[in-house]
Chain A
Amino acid sequence: MTIDAATVRKVAKLAHIRESEDRLEGLAKELSGILQWIEQLGEVDTDGVEPMASAVALALPLREDAVTEGGNPAEILANAPAARNNFFVVPKVVE
């Protein structure tokens, strides 16, 4: 599978990364090279094989749905690019 500049533009949009138009061709070539190398997986017979999502076979543990930490807005906001009155300040979303 090779991917073209239009596909790279679409994927970059999905990933929220701005890529300038003049880089799309180069990226398409690079990503195609990686994908072509990956395609050797097609040689492996995986009929009836259960997909493996985790190296740990155990079921995920459950706990009470209760607050374990909280009440520390100053700590949570300490690294915010912008904060006011215990809130994150973000760009306007709705006009």
Chain B
Amino acid sequence: MSDPADLTGLTLKDALEGLRGRRFSSEEITRAHLEAMAAARPLNAFVLETPDQALAMARASDARIAAGGAGPLEGAPIGVKDLFCTKGVRSTAGSRILGNFVPPYESTVTANLWRDGAVMLGKLNMDEFAMGSSNETSAFGPVVNPWRSAGSNRALTPGGSSGGSAAAVAAHLALGATATDTGGSIRQPASLTGTVGVKPTYGRCSRWGVVAFASSLDQAGPLARTVEDAALLLRSMSGHDPKDSTSLTAEVPDFPSFVGRSPKGLRVGVPKEYRVDGMPPEIEALWTQGVAWLKEAGCEVVEVSLPHTRYALPAYYIIAPAEASSNLARYDGMRYGLRVDAPTLSEVYEETRAAGFGEEVKRRILIGAYVLSAGYYDAYYLKAQKVRRRIADDFATVFEQVDALLTPTAPSAAFALGEKAADPVAMYLNDIFTVTVNLAGLPAMSVPGGLDAQGLPLGLQLIGRALDESTLFTLAGALEKAADFRGRPQRWW
């Protein structure tokens, strides 16, 4: 029996090696994580702990390992964002409106992970319907970042919407986690918690069984503590799925094999429009440091231009609410979830949705209904779709000259809970560097680059060509090696 603290300290890759080498069992490493999870409830990272299921899955994994039939992730305990439907396990999307919804089916992404032997520890907290950048819109209350500023015990946000996933991985409550990214919801929390987050090419991971927010932007991906761990998870999560009509048929590369390769000779662009007014000097310094690291590793770094960058967020705040207002029309209290009784059918709908949705979700549904309403469709929705094309064309042009782009991930380090909650537009600006790739459908990832003066992690973002996650894994591996990021939050919980 190994020391439980040692087992939660392992990377996913080392854990898989230990499991295959029979140095410890899946039951042992799963128990170690269940204990860490139970001890970390002040973080509010999990909305549902599933210890019985975790142990049953772990024992089944141990039996497969003993029989010589181990899958690529056999026996590794992970967490699942509560946006993924899990068969027989309550799935809420962080909302009251789903009530005690227990899906009779499993999302394709999680089914792929269980097929490959992963073990589910529980369901992770998130902003309601993935709408938020601080986890404060969750019906279950905000997740608290395991990181704190030096000398302070103020509660900070882990970012959002995949805040529970990021906090659980950063605090060593899980070896990795699933997450989703519609405008930055994997990468911004990764940056704020010192973890690695990957938003793959749109269509790489099936959306089937993932509660829909904005269907033309939503994409699942992993959060992990190392680039290689993220590659291992993404390899299992990806793949064509006939149940998602926008799922890509492209073959899934062996992502982990691209980590550790030399990036020598790759051309990396630095988009000048990402140097925004008011950018904290520490973020600018980290970006410059990232350029130096890539040059030292043999990359050629050139300045490029993405002229429509500043219009990405306003276009997103038409397109995403428009899609959300139609996707969320299904929550009417008739077939599942919350129903508030009232005298007429119309009133049942209106009262159910008033009670079930939180403020930010209602705000976005109203914006979406407004921009799609008669007389405004062309001025808002059609205009935004045209700007979206301009943004995608900008990327297509620069990817004729470069293999990838390097930018900061987020405009600030973790901020305090409550600090930006009163001003929707200030909150939306968190996604200023991440939202562009969702509009264009491109892959991107965030890698920890270092700590700021307060001791809080900061991330660097790499953006790649469609379907070229492999190059990103090579570059991210080089950045990870150069940054030698070993930061870990001091345990206070």
Contact check: which of B354, B366, B380, B390 meets A44 at CB < 8 Å? B390
Report the minimum CB–CB distance from B450 to chain A (whole Å). 32
Tell me if B336 and A56 are in contact (CB < 8 A). no
Determine, out of B9-17, B55-63, B298-306, B341-349, the stretch whose residues face the partner at the interface. Answer: B341-349
With contacts A17-B350, A55-B202, A81-B333 taken as known, whether A31 is within 8 angstroms of B363 at the C-beta atoms is yes
Residues of A within 8 A of B107 (CB): none
Q: Which residues, 354 to 407 on B, are CB-close (under 8 Å) to A?
A: 354, 357, 362-363, 365-370, 373, 380, 382-390, 392
Say yes or no for A52: interface residue by CB 8 A criterion. yes
CA gap between A93 and B315 in the complex, in Å: 39
Report the minimum CB–CB distance from A76 to chain B (whole Å). 8
Residue of B nearest to A16 (CB): B349
Tell me if B345 and A93 are in contact (CB < 8 A). yes
Residues of B within 8 A of A8 (CB): 366
Tell me if A37 and B366 are in contact (CB < 8 A). no
Residues of A within 8 A of B334 (CB): 80-81, 88, 90
With contacts A51-B385, A80-B335 taken as known, whether A91 is within 8 angstroms of B380 at the C-beta atoms is no
Tell me if A53 and B216 are in contact (CB < 8 A). yes
Report the minimum CB–CB distance from B309 to chain A (whole Å). 11
Q: Which residues, 12 to 36 on A, are CB-close (under 8 Å) to B?
A: 12, 14-19, 27, 30-31, 33-35
Say yes or no for B102: interface residue by CB 8 A criterion. yes
Tell me if A55 and B440 are in contact (CB < 8 A). yes
Residue of A nearest to B388 (CB): A52
With contacts A31-B366, A56-B203, A88-B335 taken as known, whether A41 is within 8 angstroms of B357 at the C-beta atoms is no
CA gap between A11 and B353 in the complex, in Å: 14
Contact check: which of B314, B344, B424 meets A40 at CB < 8 Å? B314
Say yes or no for A46: interface residue by CB 8 A criterion. yes
CA gap between A63 and B242 in the complex, in Å: 10
CA gap between A82 and B202 in the complex, in Å: 38
Report the minimum CB–CB distance from A3 to chain B (whole Å). 7
Best-surrounded residue of B357, B368, B425 (most CB of chain A within 10 A): B425
Residues of A within 8 A of B318 (CB): 38, 41
CA gap between A44 and B346 in the complex, in Å: 40
With contacts A41-B387, A78-B104 taken as known, whether A33 is within 8 angstroms of B335 at the C-beta atoms is no
CA gap between A37 and B429 in the complex, in Å: 11
Tell me if A50 and B389 are in contact (CB < 8 A). yes
Report the minimum CB–CB distance from B23 to chain A (whole Å). 41
Residues of B within 8 A of A34 (CB): 317, 363, 367, 424-425
Best-surrounded residue of A31, A35, A39, A75 (most CB of chain B within 10 A): A35
Cβ contacts A40-74/B at 8 Å (1 or 0 each): 11111010011111111000110100000000100
Residues of A within 8 A of B342 (CB): 91
CA gap between A35 and B342 in the complex, in Å: 33
Chain A residues with CB under 8 Å of chain B are 3, 7-8, 11-12, 14-19, 27, 30-31, 33-35, 37-44, 46, 49-56, 60-61, 63, 72, 75-76, 78-82, 88, 90-93
